[in-house]
Amino acid sequence: MYILGINAYHGDASAAIVHDGKLVAAAEEERFNRKKHCAGFPALAIRYCLEAAGITPAELDHVGISRDPSAHLHKKILFSITRLSGLSGLIAARLANAAKVRNLRDELARSLDVPTDSFRAQFHNVEHHKAHMASCFLVSGFDKAAILSIDGFGDFISTMWGQGEGNRIDVLGEIEYPHSVGIVYTATSQYLGFPKYGDEGKVMGLAPYGQPRFLEQFRDIVQTERDGGFKLNLDYFLHHSEGVEMTWDDGSPTIGRIFSDKFIETFGPARQNGVPLAAHYEDVAASLQARLEEVGFHVLKHLHQKTGSKRLALAGGVAFNSVMNGKILLNTPFEEVYVQPAAGDAGTALGVCYWIENVLLQRPRAFIMGHAYTGPEYKNGQIERVVHSSGLKHRLLDDAELTRAAAQAIADGKIVGWFQGRMEFGPRALGNRSIVVDPRRPDMKDILNARIKKREPFRPFAPSILEERIAEYFEQTHPAPSMLMVYQIKPEKRAAIPAVTHVDGSGRLQTVSHETNPLYYQLIREFDRITGVPVVLNTSFNEDEPIVCTPDQAMDCFQRTRMDVLFLGNYMVER
Amino acid sequence: MAAGAQATQAAVHVSRRVEKPYAVLLLPAVLTGTPQKQELFLPLTLAYLLSAHIAFRFPLRESALPLVERVFDDILNGLPKESKGICYQSVDRAERASVLVPQSSLLLTDERGLHELPGCERLPAAVISRSEANQSLLRLRNLEKIDDLVLRAKLAGCAQLINVQSGGFITEGPFSLSW
């Protein structure tokens, strides 16, 4: 049985395909069409999924999308009619493109260039947050767990929590539009001069530079409630009264201003993008992050009380807040946390598949998502053409030579492009589409930024560490294979890996095991053999663009930037 | 009586005396079968919203009343209360509900209700329906016969909101995303 899951018309459009309960492929559309956070219909990702499964559209048994227009429909109508001002203006604003409306079957047929009646599949709509919940719990390996889905909005809900057991997911509570901590984070990021979709991670990186001296103000902005929920002081926001325009004219989403004048009255003038960051703004970021953590732990403690579970499955865009994630075990009674690698909206395509497979069809759970390597891969035969046509000096190595040569290059201070195996699903490069450098050099962060990444100087770079060595370097030891946890680096080790130690002594680590990525594991082992440090700096293989997907894109990025050496499959390519 | 139910009664005036013109909310599920809570949310929401402009008569079996009250409690929670009244009319047989319809100014029903009501083709009607993809739709009929322009506009607005939501997807931007 083949099930295709789709996330469309949310940020990070994506597709996933499952065959008899096993995940065959999953990928974001942005990797194929090269439009960051693409929010359209994931036509290319769907084509890739079908190709990876080796089937035609007619062979699909079920197709689902992580959006259910009927969910909470009466609430949407009530909200629109009773809260937003001016019915005629509302209708005009919302329905400007009503003529473009199509249904999923039509859209899928159009994107695959097949007749609408060529599908024998059943079509499903899965509510956004239920797809999120399925995307983490049903592939977590937990038989029973508490589940939290928390993001901006989807199907009129910002936060949904519940309990999973076997094939059941029971919703225990939810928070409706317009109340959302995701919206608070996005609004504050806009205020701080980071207006792009996905910029919230920058603010998380900025927060440790500041002091949370505006925490009381943020406690007024987001107020916790006794039932484990929270509500916003809507005076600080526009989205509930004027709506928020989101456009994707070129495929990449942009979001209109969310914060109100009251926000400016409270915190002063908004920072313009590109203006130097004053300490004041660092303090706003620190306060926001502190309040997010307070609210997050408030929800989670309540969820633990309700479920009694020591295990937590976590998804939604806010689950990308790895600083909060890393403190969950320290601040709540939970003892195990599973965050699916594509925890944001992209992951709902995966959730749709497993909602259909396990919840709707009640087929047994048969898959644990232990890694994120679900995208396209390229054999050396395909890579050879790219290498030869580049005209660059190259050598073909076996795996052992490859990892030794790469580790030596890293230890020699070179910037190494590392393109291997299947592309990662989710926003993090986890050792298959990575740029890897020496974490021991204090200047490496600046070198990387100057030569390739061009990122804001306050943003940290991340360490990959051999899983069995985590206790030597970090204060916590719970595995973090998806780079979605920030832990404190042990004080005595910070000087050993300065390029991946953030200003507050933390690191957003990836634990690497032989089981999930043997080649990358071996690379780090070789680096450890040479240097005595089982850690490398791992950043995504890109330059202000989506992470590279194909060997051509990797070669293009290599030649555009000042990377020193590229390991493309088993080819070592030098300038 | 639960606090929620009291709030509902205060908000949606329940009275045996309803002045003309009136609208009828006709739902076969509350007249003949065992209604599901989920299927009542949309029609009761629409009735509440429209009752700001026109009083409603709502025939139902006594046995359905507790569920209807609970749904109204959920819908009205925290909302400004603005209504000319939704008058429950207890009926013991479904056919008795239909006598209210010919003199009404507006009929709010579903496909099944419309099917079971022959001879009301000229009445202004809002009919809750289902798309091929099993999404809710609102079909409007004889809207031009409604004199109250604000009520007419609200009906049109509700229909557009529901139908666009249910239609699925907007294939190219810009669009407005508020939920």
Q: Does A92 touch chain B (CB under 8 A)?
A: no
Phi/psi for A295 (5° steps) reads -70, -45
> Same fold for the domain at A2-128 and the one at A380-574?
no
Question: CB of B119 within 8 Å of any CB in chain A?
Answer: no
Question: A196 has which bridge partners?
Answer: A254
CB A103 to CB B133 under 8 A? yes
Contacts of B176 in chain A (CB under 8 A): 93-94, 96, 243-246
Residue A240: per-residue pLDDT: 82
User: Which DSSP state fits A356?
Assistant: I
Report the pLDDT value the prediction gives residue A547, as an integer from 0 to 100: 98
Given a cut of 80, whether residue A89 has pLDDT beyond it is no
Q: What mean pLDDT is predicted for residues A2-12?
A: 92
Q: Is B77 on the interface with A (CB under 8 A)?
A: no
Query: Which has the minimum average pLDDT: A438-447, A540-549, A552-561, B28-37?
Result: B28-37
pLDDT at A537 over 80: yes
ipTM, interface predicted TM-score of the complex:
0.77
Q: For an interface test with B, which of A73, A107, A176, A246 has the most B Cβ atoms less than 10 Å from its Cβ?
A: A73
Residues 6+ apart with CB under 8 A from A361: A1, A62
- Mean pLDDT over A462-475 rounds to 98
Level-2 CATH architecture, domain A140-339: 2-Layer Sandwich (3.30)
A425 in Cβ contact with A372 (< 8 Å): yes
pLDDT of B33: 77
Interchain contact, B177 vs A245, CB within 8 Å:
yes
Give the alpha-carbon dihedral of A343, A348, A350, A355, to 10 degrees. 120
Sign of CA dihedral A353, A357, A358, A364: negative
Amino acid at B39: E
Report, as an integer, the average pLDDT of A443-451: 94
Chain A contact present for B160, CB below 8 A:
yes
In chain B, the percentage of residues whose pLDDT exceeds 90 is 31
Q: Residue A17 has what pLDDT?
A: 98
Give how far A176 is from chain B: nearest CA, Å. Answer: 9
Please answer yes or no on whether B135 and A69 come within 8 Å at the CB atom. Answer: yes
Mutation site, A101, A105, A231, A242, interface B, largest B CB count within 10 A: A101
The pLDDT of A182-186, averaged and rounded, is 96
Phi, psi dihedral angles at A332 (to 5 degrees): -135, 170
- Please give the pLDDT value at position A516: 97
In this prediction, residue A255 carries a pLDDT of 83
User: Domain A2-128, what architecture?
Assistant: 2-Layer Sandwich (3.30)
Chain A nearest CA to B118, separation (Å): 28
Task: Report the alpha-carbon distance of residue A184 to residue A180 in Å, rounded.
Answer: 7
pTM: predicted TM-score of the whole model, two decimal places: 0.89
Give residue-wise pLDDT tens across range A385-440: 999 999 999 999 999 999 999 999 999 999 999 999 999 999 999 999 999 999 99
Nearest CA-CA distance, residue B79 and chain A, Å: 8
User: Is B176's CB within 8 Å of A107's CB?
Assistant: no
Q: Which of B46, B156, B176 sits opposite A94 (nearest CB)?
A: B176
> Max CA-CA distance within chain A?
70
Q: Per-residue pLDDT averaged across A551-575, rounded?
A: 97
Cα nearest neighbour of A124 on chain B: B133
Q: B31-62 pLDDT, tens per residue?
A: 987 888 889 999 999 999 999 999 999 999 99
Q: What does the alpha-carbon distance between residue A554 and residue A419 come to, in Å, rounded to a whole number?
A: 7
Q: How confident is the model at residue A83 (pLDDT cuts 50, 70, 90)?
A: low
The residues, ordered by sequence, that sit 6+ positions from B33 with a Cβ below 8 Å of its Cβ are: none
Q: How confident is the model at residue A245, as a pLDDT?
A: 66
* Contact check, Cβ <8 Å, B158/A243: no
Residue of chain B whose alpha carbon sits nearest to that of A241: B178
Instruction: Map tokens 């007249």 to a residue.
Output: B31
Q: Please indicate if any CB of chain A lies within 8 Å of the CB of B38.
A: no
Confidence of residue A509 (pLDDT cuts 50, 70, 90): very high
pLDDT of B175 higher than 50:
no
pLDDT band at B18 (very low <50, low <70, confident <90, very high): very low
- Inter-chain residue contact B166 with A249, CB threshold 8 Å: no
H/E run at residue A436: strand A433-437
CB pairs under 8 A between A and B: 146
Task: Say what percent of chain A tops pLDDT 90.
Answer: 85
Mean pLDDT taken over chain A: 93
What is the enclosing helix (H) or strand (E) of A7? strand A2-7
| pLDDT value at A90 more than 70 | no
Instruction: Spell out the domains of chain B, with CATH numbers in brackets.
Output: 3-165 (3.40.50)
At B101-132, the pLDDT tens digits run 888 999 999 998 888 887 788 899 999 988 77
Structural domain spans, chain A: 2-128, 140-339, 380-574
Nearest-neighbour CA in chain A from B43: distance (Å): 8
Q: Which of A41, A91, A103 sits opposite B167 (nearest CB)?
A: A103
Digit-coded pLDDT (tens) for A293-333? 999 999 999 999 999 999 999 999 999 999 999 999 999 99
Instruction: Please indicate whether, in this complex, the C-beta atoms of B179 and A81 are within 8 angstroms of each other.
Output: no
Q: Is residue A524's pLDDT more than 80? A: yes
State the smallest CA–CA distance between residue B112 and chain A in angstroms.
19
For residue B84, what pLDDT band results from cuts at 50, 70 and 90? confident
Distance CA B38, CA B176 (A): 27
Which string of DSSP letters, residue by residue, matches chain B?
--HHHHHHHHHS---S--PSSEEEEE-HHHHTS---HHHHHHHHHHHHHHTTTSEEEEEE-GGGHHHHHHHHHHHHTT-----S-EEEEE-SSHHHHGGGSTT-SEEEEEHHHHHT-TT-TTS-EEEEEE-TTS-EEEEEESGGG---HHHHHHHHHHHHHHHHHHH-EE-SS-EE---
pLDDT for position B91: 86
Residue A149: CB atoms within 10 A of its CB come to 33
pLDDT of residue B78: 73
Residue % of chain A over a pLDDT of 70: 95
Assign domain A380-574 to a CATH class: alpha beta
Question: In terms of CA atoms, which chain B residue is nearest residue A128?
Answer: B179
Q: How far is B50 from chain A (nearest CA, A)?
A: 10
